[in-house]
Structure 1
């Protein structure tokens, strides 16, 4: 049997065809300029986010206080920017500071949450995206970093990496060893007001390729600027005052990028799909992580964290083996496993088809029971994480 086509040419052809089709799909989803936008939220949704009554929002509107919502069919709708304005207005008159703007105060450190797992399909990107967006909806200033060369987080937020980042623009540009850019040069404002994003693409792999060369160059061994594990933390320090929370979607591998993210993190969230093969894979991941981070600590890296938690993802409560695995993990790790789990839901996967999270879609697009069950699950997980964030600030 003869080989009629080179594999590199075949794969390249498929990549070009797929890229063109994805761009056409994006143009169809987000006309006319292929830019993703965010829907407006009903007054009922806004009231629930702010912890006030819908009638109170109506009263503010009639009195001309705060932003003026759009009115359609007798219903009021607020853009996310207007929700932020409402928060600021309510916070100004709040008796307890932080009631409506719960972010950092003087003396609070930047919270950097690394979302990690060694095995693909654990719901890592889905978890990171919903965490980042819910934090924004709850009044936090958030920076999300896509550190995965596969760039699923970026795609979910409207970027097509091979087109939108053809001239760079990933974290690599800020952490590379030669002529790094300031971090502000690669931060992009997103359609989700209050959520800034550093998108990813294959350029990130350059850091994995360059770091061994730098480590082998003994002439720079004592140069603090060449310490690979400090580079992400050093860059984040440049924009620390602008954010309350940084969410890093790490690659599903334990390379130099992940170690750098873990060295910058103040907290770690490990996503786990409750099946035996996934838990076995996680065991290997934890062993390697411990060994490598031990080496980094000996080299001067800061390995102290506010918290580390396992979050069970894609959980099916009616699945007996999954329940056994969750019970096994809780018995083994105790309080390090979040009390709430992220349920497997067709609502989450269906929203993903149109590059949206569950916080972006409208409830009416799904069977209400399916939507409510999924959103309650995600809200519970993210509320628990928010409690840990607040605890990191000693609140």
Structure 2
């Protein structure tokens, strides 16, 4: 029996850390070598918003470079190939936005925070899946992990408790000054990923210090105040991205409020179950009061969107179907049209720290399950893409 609790917790933490490191070596390539799979012609055509025939003819006419060929002489495109082809096709396109849909002069940086009062609502999986989809669609995307648990960060092969033990996370960019320890520019902690067009600001356990340090900083009047810290940091890289996605911790603390105040839109993930809807109601009630105070003090302004995404949606459960319809009647267009379905394909991908987009298709056992999950993620991502384009004052077609 342990004499003190902290010794027990320290020993268990060390055991778990060692086991996680071993697991990473078994299931993951080193982060410097982790790579993205290649994509087939139908996938690339959909990403470019063209038909398969258009893409094949562009190759035949030598308008775009040839790519690697796999089995049966089928073309395989890397993410870098897709980016190169985007820029080539945009040069002579009637509508360059079809291929390069990102910001134009005058368009504001789109900052979306994913929020929920409780864990388990697929916040992180939603954020990273949406980020990867938007990156593949031609946007420059920055993921920001503001959760001390840093689940988003681990998707990229990092072990935050080991790799960022001495710093290198969002905390360093928003922390309060303390002697020789001062906050750093966000570019100092920003990481390029193996996924083109997609960068990340890692999270880590030190972010929990922000929660405990903020009351003291408020009492001594340190500037900028907490709700401006993420917003001010992002201004340093505003010109480098079209979209920033922030994965918030499952609570309404100072980190979440700082992310909310930096955002142009909010995405709330909700499982269509009674207990989750009750929790969502409590979150909204509490958030409305807190945000009213922040608004009064200049911390929060107008929003482009506050959207709800139904997650872990099981079409086989009638009560979920009923509750989803009830929510749509109650909240209208605020509920995103396409739900994020519950799927073993998503869960199995997550076990090896991958999203549905990274799965090796040759290893897929149940193709129908995979395709259904992929259709769901593409669907809600397209719905959000349309909302982003509308925020820039233009529409977007998801038809090829």
1:214 corresponds to 2:228: no
Alignment map for 1:1-395 (pairs within 5 Å): 3-31=1-29, 35-61=33-59, 64-73=62-71, 74-178=73-177, 179-217=182-220, 220=221, 225-364=223-362, 365-395=364-394
Q: Which SS does the other structure have where 1:39 is aligned?
A: coil
In structure 2, list runs of 5 or more residues that go unmatched.
Answer: 395-400
1:155-207 CA-to-partner distances (Å, cap 9, x unmatched) read 11211101111221111111112121111111100011110001111011111
Find the aligned partners of 1:256 and 1:67 in 2 and give their Cα distance: 49
Counterparts of 2:3 and 2:226, CA distance in 1: 40
Alpha carbons 1:43, 1:78 under 8 Å: kept = yes
| 1:216-263 Cα shifts (integer Å, max 9, x gaps) | 22xx2xx6x331101111111111000000000000000000000000
Moved more, 306-315 or 66-75: 66-75
Cα distance change on mapping 1:66 and 1:167 into 2, 3 Å: farther
How many angstroms apart in 1 are the aligned matches of 2:237 and 2:384?
23
- TM-score w.r.t. the length of structure 1 is 0.94
Scaled by the length of structure 2, what TM-score is found? 0.93
Q: 1:55 Cα shift?
A: 4.3
TM-aligned CA deviation for residue 373 of structure 1: 0.9
Change (3 A) 1:118 1:35: farther
- Residue 29 of structure 1 deviates from its aligned partner by 2.6
For residues 68 and 355 of structure 1, the distance between their equivalents in structure 2, rounded to whole angstroms, comes to 32
Unpaired segments ≥5 residues, structure 1: none
Report the more deviating stretch, 27-36 or 252-261: 27-36
The one-character-per-residue Cα deviations of 1:264-303 (angstroms, maximum 9, x if unpaired) are 0000000001111111111111111111111111111123
Q: Does structure 1 conserve the Cα–Cα contact (< 8 Å) formed by 2:144 and 2:200?
A: yes
Total equivalences in the alignment:
388
Moved over 6 A (4+): none
